[in-house]
Amino acid sequence: MPSSEALATRAIEILTDLVAFDTTSRGSNLALIEYVEAMLAERGVASRRVPNAEGTKANLMATIGPNVEGGVVLSGHTDVVPVDGQPWSTDPWVLTRKDGRLYGRGSSDMKAFLALSLATLPHFVAAPLKRPVHFAFSYDEEVGCLGAPDMIEEIAKTVPAPAWVLVGEPTDMQAISGHKGISSFRVTVTGREAHSSLTHLGVSANMHAIRLMHYLLKLSEDLASRADPASPFTPKGASLTVGQVNGGTAVNILARECVFIFDLRTEPGMDPFALLEGFFAEAKAVDALIKDRAPEGGVLVENRSLTPSFAPEPNGVAEAFARRLAGDNGPLRVAPYAAEAGQFQAAGFSTVICGPGSIDQAHQPDEFIEVSQIERGAEFMVRLVEMMSAD
């Protein structure tokens, strides 16, 4: 086993390659998947894709070590968020090192974890592993954790029961024991176009959409007011925001269509559909109002994503292992964002989030990861190889 310094150096080399792949969620991740497949094949490790329905994207699974129970799943997503319109001072697709930082899209969220896993690959292969290490690299995490469920189902069906799952989201190499869930919805309001001076002849989709968005605004305020002061989350309780709005074609035309998308983030134990019951009733009432004047119109509410929350596990195996390897004796920590940890937990796996980099850098222009975080991640990986090889 090499030194952690050498492992960190190799991880940065691999991270350079990974950042160069534009794996923005709207596109394909297959070029990166092929790169990883080649690395695995070079070491004699078989891998398996779990593709999307169109075959344009894929999850990737691989196992190193004996085909027995008690292994660890190293889980990470391959996709990144867009750079469009962001004022980058470096090329987001070229890993740029300066002042102890590595700049590039996905450097922190979360290709550094993938790079560390791949840098450790030859050492996993060479080590006398007593328990297996499973790679589980997903697609479309950034747009609702859409890719992981099929892969998790395959793991549950085909892999001897792992003891724990490590989701390598950026946490400054500290264990995160819980996260909120996220449900997102697309609302399409359809009216009837007419000249804006002749409001009696048409139905403005925008005006009715505003009514629905106002309901959501009041609901978000109500949810905030009902938050449990003892909650470990920040912000406490459920939060709701309208993230996208697109409606109308001209200022003097009653809008035929308005589409808006909102998300609801909920703590463990909260039912998002129960919290939205009043909104669904309001949408049904507005649908009837529109149809009364424009039968071809109405309101359509579609559930885009439904990512479960991740609840802290009392005496959780995954958290105990991660804290031991990271040297983490800190307090219980939870996160306001959603990740794939809740999906693994829902499938019955003991799960923890722990990875290099800071979530504060995620999705930002000039995203970066501190070199020191790569080094800490390398130390973690060295200890993981030792632990999985021990009797």
- Region of residue 370 (left: phi > 0; alpha: psi -120 to 50; beta: else): beta
What letter would DSSP give residue 255? -
- Region of residue 270 (left: phi > 0; alpha: psi -120 to 50; beta: else): beta
Separation of alpha carbons 134 and 151, rounded Å? 12
What letter would DSSP give residue 192? B
Separation of alpha carbons 351 and 318, rounded Å? 5
> Among this protein's residues, is 141 annotated catalytic?
yes
CA distances from 269 to 234, 238, 248, 266, 276 (A): 16, 11, 39, 8, 15
Q: Which residue among 22, 141, 267, 367 is the active-site one?
A: 141
Q: Which residue among 22, 79, 340, 375 is the active-site one?
A: 79
Q: DSSP string of 82-100?
A: --TT---SS-TTS-EEETT
Contact assessment for residue 71 and residue 384, using Cβ atoms and an 8 Å cutoff: no
Rg (the chain; Cα; Å)? 23
* Catalytic residue annotation: 79, 141
